[in-house]
Structure 1
Amino acid sequence: MKTKWLKTLGMGLALSAAAGAAQAENLRVVTDPSFVPFEMMDQATGKMIGFDMDILAEVSKRAGFEYDLNTMDFNGIIPALQTGNVDMALAGITITEEREKIVDFSDPYYDSGLRILVRADNDQVDEISDLEGAKIGTKIGSTSYNFLMDTLEQDGNVTPYPGSSDMYMALMSGAVDAVFYDAPNVGYFSSTRGQGRTKTVGPLYEGQQYGIALKQGSPWVDEVNAALAEIKEDGTYKAIYEKWFGKMPGSE
């Protein structure tokens, strides 16, 4: 009897361990739905698409995990990782020393920076110093907001918006004089919905690198890094990049 009970118990523990392993391989991933062209909602299918979404699909396949994808405002992503409510996030997240203290990051997968966007008829702004005293829109929780707070002496007119579409609408309507945000995002807006009505000006500020963010102590960091290295090596990354941004810098 005792032997049979121990055998049954052993089988139960093994099944429990296997179930736990299977559960661990289905990661909770979040993204910000408004950071085009990195992540955005396809209105026809109701699914998230974009550069980050293609990177996530390739990384998950090669690293060996499945995932449940959900969306949230950008300013909630790092806290969600910090509390362990989610396992991973891709949302054009800049790797910073402050964030590295509370979450883990993959190796960088995208080089970026910050840029100014103004209305097409604005010839008064050429660089960040020209924004002193101007009404500026940026995004809540972003490095662009922190940069403005650290750089401008007159920062009382900086308005942080919850989504990038909100700050672009504010610019188009005249509620703000300029938007200061991640260069690929403002460039994409200016060449699509804002074409002919907006323009990017000035240099690229504060060179940045995006990373895949994971909850601190995640066992998936090495696998994610290996997958990123693999897609860069075999040309998959280049194909994804050029799908969303055009010719990849430095490519033949």
Structure 2
Amino acid sequence: MKKQSLVSLAFTSLLAAAVLAGCGTGNQPGTGQPAGTPQSGQASGGTKVLNMATSADYKPYEFHDLSSGKDEIVGFDVDIANYIGKKLGYEVKVTDMNFDGLVPALQTNRADFVMAGMTPTPDREKNVDFSTIYYDAKNTIVTKKESSLTKPEQLAGKKIAVQLGSIQESAAKELATSTAPGLQITSLNKTGEIVEEVKTGRVDAAILEDTVAKGFVESNPGLQYTTIQSDEKNGSAIAFPKGSPHVEEFNKVIKEMQENGEMDKLIKKWFGQ
């Protein structure tokens, strides 16, 4: 009887030790994350990781591709990010979120950089750092084909849709106080929603970047777009948290891509230019 009690006690002690061991290795020290979970800057296999935040509804810059049978975020920005990452020895992991949440993601260190066809503006530059411009683009007015709205001043008193937090939203607000008084602005998160507003007639027009407008018009024959002539550049740049050490090294690779033809190759691939 005494022997049986000792065996039971030994078994109980071993079981408790196993449970404690399991609890001790279930989280990385100080992180509260499961063991082996990659953190920003380091993957489980030792590869350095950079987390890229984007708004994957901006074809051809970034969008969801289901053609392979699985959901992948692909596009011009993604190709550039992967090229830069490979050159610098990083694995790039892409996270999709609403456009207006991208800058806050950098400010709260939930992303190492943002690529989303984002234009450096004075307001944004107060909160984040930007790389050099890697692609220039123009704004357009997107309407139904039967519409005569082709110039900014014709938008006076009309309803238009723009993407929330975008440079196009800022441009629309500026038009409302200058050349298009009475302009009514609807700001939405996704470009697909914006185009749908135009198609259904809930708004008279939308303001979208030319390369994005081109893609939507090609897949929606009932739509048209007209480029808004402007001396201002609406180029795209990579956004980083303030003081990020990655800005300089990214700029070096961007310059290299512009000089060795790699950037032109990707522009032709995604924009047909």
TM-score of the alignment, normalized to the shorter chain, above 0.5: yes
SS in 2 for 1:179: strand
List alignment gaps of at least 5 residues for structure 1: 1-18, 248-252
Q: Say whether residues 1:38 and 2:64 are aligned partners.
A: no
Q: Say whether residues 1:167 and 2:194 are aligned partners.
A: yes
The aligned counterpart of 1:147 is 171
SS in 1 for 2:63: strand
User: 1:155: Cα distance to partner?
Assistant: 4.6
The aligned counterpart of 1:180 is 207
Q: How far apart, in 2, do the equivalents of 1:55 and 1:238 lie?
A: 11
The aligned counterpart of 2:116 is 91
User: 1:190: Cα distance to partner?
Assistant: 1.1
The aligned counterpart of 1:226 is 252
Q: How far apart, in 2, do the equivalents of 1:78 and 1:201 lie?
A: 29
The aligned counterpart of 1:215 is 241
SS in 2 for 1:54: helix
Indicate which of 105, 127, 134 corresponds to 2:151. 127
Greater Cα shift, 179-188 or 134-143: 179-188
The aligned counterpart of 2:14 is none
User: 1:25: Cα distance to partner?
Assistant: 3.2
SS in 1 for 2:263: helix
CA pair 170-63 structure 1, distance change in 2 beyond 3 A? same
Q: How far apart, in 1, do the equivalents of 2:114 and 2:183 lie?
A: 31
Identical aligned residues as a percent: 29
Q: Say whether residues 1:239 and 2:262 are aligned partners.
A: no
Larger Rg: 2
Indicate which of 112, 125, 136 corresponds to 2:137. 112
Indicate which of 72, 92, 95 corresponds to 1:67. 92
User: 1:67: Cα distance to partner?
Assistant: 2.2
Counterpart of 1:134 in structure 2: which amino acid? K
Counterpart of 1:135 in structure 2: which amino acid? K
Counterpart of 2:166 in structure 1: which amino acid? S
Which structure: greater strand fraction? Answer: 1
Q: Say whether residues 1:79 and 2:104 are aligned partners.
A: yes
Q: How far apart, in 2, do the equivalents of 1:108 and 1:116 lie?
A: 23
* 1:3-37, Cα deviation, whole Å (9 max, x unpaired): xxxxxxxxxxxxxxxx9974693111111110011
Q: What TM-score, normalized to structure 2?
A: 0.78
Counterpart of 1:97 in structure 2: which amino acid? P
Moved runs in structure 1, 4+ residues, more than 6 A?
none
Q: What TM-score, normalized to structure 1?
A: 0.84
C-alpha RMSD over aligned residues: 1.9
Q: How far apart, in 1, do the equivalents of 2:83 and 2:250 lie?
A: 10
List alignment gaps of at least 5 residues for structure 2: 1-38
* 1:113-160, Cα deviation, whole Å (9 max, x unpaired): 21101101112x121010011110111011111111122244562101
Alignment of 1:19-34 (within 5 A): 22=42, 25-34=48-57
Assess if the C-alpha contact under 8 Å between 1:129 and 1:152 holds in 2.
Answer: no
Assess if the C-alpha contact under 8 Å between 1:190 and 1:200 holds in 2.
Answer: yes
Assess if the C-alpha contact under 8 Å between 2:85 and 2:91 holds in 1.
Answer: yes
CA pair 203-231 structure 1, distance change in 2 beyond 3 A? same
Counterpart of 2:160 in structure 1: which amino acid? I
Greater Cα shift, 90-99 or 182-191: 182-191
- Equivalent pairs counted in the alignment come to 226
SS in 1 for 2:138: strand
